[in-house]
Structure 1
């Protein structure tokens, strides 16, 4: 494989001149530029971009940590991140972790080894203390409320929006309210569960462990929830779903279990995904595409910033 010295010899110029041509230096005579370009074509020279990045001290790559690629929630985030990255002439490297700590550590190690310039963590299992140890190697941005962290983050106040949705159901006469959740150890999930506990205490309502449905993330999980509900002697009259996908799964399965939506069961989803608009699902709208853009912009900034994104309850036909 030809190297830069071969190109210089064929073109009859110095290695320095070849380097200037490759880096679009403005002060190189046109005939020398043409000679170098012809030599590159003739020799089949391919530039070693890794060596170039090493010399520049940057890769123009942003790593993105997320647990799943096949869920609309994360797909919308990626779309926003990718769009903003292209504006800054950056590319993204995706790390699908499945909430495995060793996979998340691999992304952090890539930052440490300078194989990426910065890292966006959309959702994580690993402790925040471990993440913060890597901040000296590059910019790390979180999609969560980092409270006292020294890292940049963008967040949605899940406590407040969950409490708002619960009160919305209460004001419409519901007293037996349950909710679906993916994992209890997540930061956002923890905020939702805390809001639920506080809501029950404020309203003087009893806590029922059966009304909490765990491991809910996909469309088929909604069908599973309906199956579990159908076997209950006393079932909730309203549910807050983990996401619009789970809500849609419940609505799709409702005729099978003879449960009328919203007469027998009111449902509120989360995110305002396209499926929520198509199926008229009442939902908490979270602007994920815009959040993705914000996260990328934070990786470009030299300052630490904390941004809260407002959400809205969108009333449709499932309550």
Structure 2
């Protein structure tokens, strides 16, 4: 028998189920069964317990109830920066789906620090959470594998062991490259945030399919994700002797920064340089930027479904190129 704690509305003290049992004139076991929606409780006694809770102005601490059942009903979503709209759209989908199943989402912001990712995995080990969704990660995959025995883990990159939900980044990059080549662009570059990440590797593979005379190592930029960092990258690019005539950019915010700085410097888009962004959020729509539409909210929804599924089936989502005035 566990003891469920109660929190008093408008009071500063806590009590336990014995207070409710005394007020209702029933046993502690009966109160516990009512709280846990046990079917074998007479309606008369159930009503007495509910009335006692109302009279004493108490509400049950459902977290304690869930933990006593071996479930926290909490899923952790792990990603580097909470300020990035790209990640927030995935998070929005995860929250929506979790709420449908009466689960809660907590966010763990890591800044790509391995020790922060380990802390999240340790929460799973100690049953503080029921599952983890890694939007992106820094830890070696083998380290994450070691924690699978403690609960479900979903990745947003393809792998051979854990359930995953991912967007085919190779195919997305090919769509962008093919569009630019069809428009006559020959000096194509692209940006990545980490040159050793899963998405960066897939984009590099796609870029390597270009004819050799169209591959420019100096046009592959390891840069940030923010609008400000996009402006800074534009300034760096314009100092080069040899300039790209088209860029495929990591996300909308970074692309918006590039676009704004190019305009400030008198560089015309798309006449002087074409731009394509990943994401297709509000910034690309407002600025009329050609964008690779990524089903980010759907990724969040499906990742929660994988966490809660008894027979998780990994899934690949597709992207769509939305052509606007920047190309």
> Do the two structures share a fold, i.e. TM-score over 0.5?
yes
Question: Is the partner of 2:178 in helix, strand or coil?
Answer: helix
In 1: Cα distance, 2:252 partner to 2:23 partner:
62
Which residue matches 1:123?
A: 136
Q: Is the 8 A contact 2:223 2:229 kept in 1?
A: yes
Q: Is the 8 A contact 1:119 1:141 kept in 2?
A: yes
In 1: Cα distance, 2:67 partner to 2:265 partner:
61
Q: CA deviation at 1:54?
A: 3.0
Instruction: Give TM-score, length-normalised by structure 2.
Output: 0.91
Q: Is the 8 A contact 2:223 2:233 kept in 1?
A: no
1:164 equivalent to 2:158? Answer no
Which residue matches 1:23?
A: 36
Which residue matches 2:204?
A: 193
Q: CA deviation at 1:35?
A: 3.0
Question: Is the partner of 2:326 in helix, strand or coil?
Answer: coil
Q: What whole-Å deviation, never above 9, does each CA across 1:220-259 have from its counterpart, x for those lacking one? A: 1221122112212220111111112111111112222110
Q: Is the 8 A contact 2:226 2:254 kept in 1?
A: yes
Q: Is the 8 A contact 2:188 2:216 kept in 1?
A: no
1:70 equivalent to 2:80? Answer no
Q: Is the 8 A contact 1:2 1:43 kept in 2?
A: no
Q: Is the 8 A contact 2:155 2:165 kept in 1?
A: yes
In 2: Cα distance, 1:36 partner to 1:306 partner:
45
Q: Is the 8 A contact 1:145 1:157 kept in 2?
A: no
Q: CA deviation at 1:134?
A: 0.8
In 1: Cα distance, 2:215 partner to 2:274 partner:
19
1:5 equivalent to 2:18? Answer yes
Which residue matches 2:7?
A: none
Instruction: Give TM-score, length-normalised by structure 1.
Output: 0.93
Q: Is the 8 A contact 1:145 1:156 kept in 2?
A: no
2:226 to 211, 218, 228: 218
1:286 to 284, 294, 299: 294
Q: Is the 8 A contact 2:230 2:256 kept in 1?
A: yes
In 1: Cα distance, 2:63 partner to 2:304 partner:
23
Question: Is the partner of 1:57 in helix, strand or coil?
Answer: coil
Question: Is the partner of 1:99 in helix, strand or coil?
Answer: coil
CA RMSD, Structure 1 to Structure 2 (Å)? 1.7
Question: Is the partner of 1:13 in helix, strand or coil?
Answer: coil
Contiguous gaps of at least 5 residues in structure 1: none
2:65 to 52, 70, 82: 52
Q: What whole-Å deviation, never above 9, does each CA across 1:293-315 have from its counterpart, x for those lacking one? A: 11111111112322110111111
Contiguous gaps of at least 5 residues in structure 2: 1-13
Shifted more, 39-48 versus 95-104: the winner is 39-48
Q: CA deviation at 1:46?
A: 5.2
1:234 to 212, 227, 242: 242
Which residue matches 2:313?
A: 305
Which residue matches 1:98?
A: 111
Q: CA deviation at 1:160?
A: 2.0
Q: What whole-Å deviation, never above 9, does each CA across 1:160-180 have from its counterpart, x for those lacking one? A: 221221122122222211111
In 1: Cα distance, 2:157 partner to 2:217 partner:
27
In 2: Cα distance, 1:275 partner to 1:262 partner:
17
In 1: Cα distance, 2:174 partner to 2:221 partner:
18
Q: Is the 8 A contact 1:271 1:284 kept in 2?
A: yes
1:258 equivalent to 2:253? Answer no
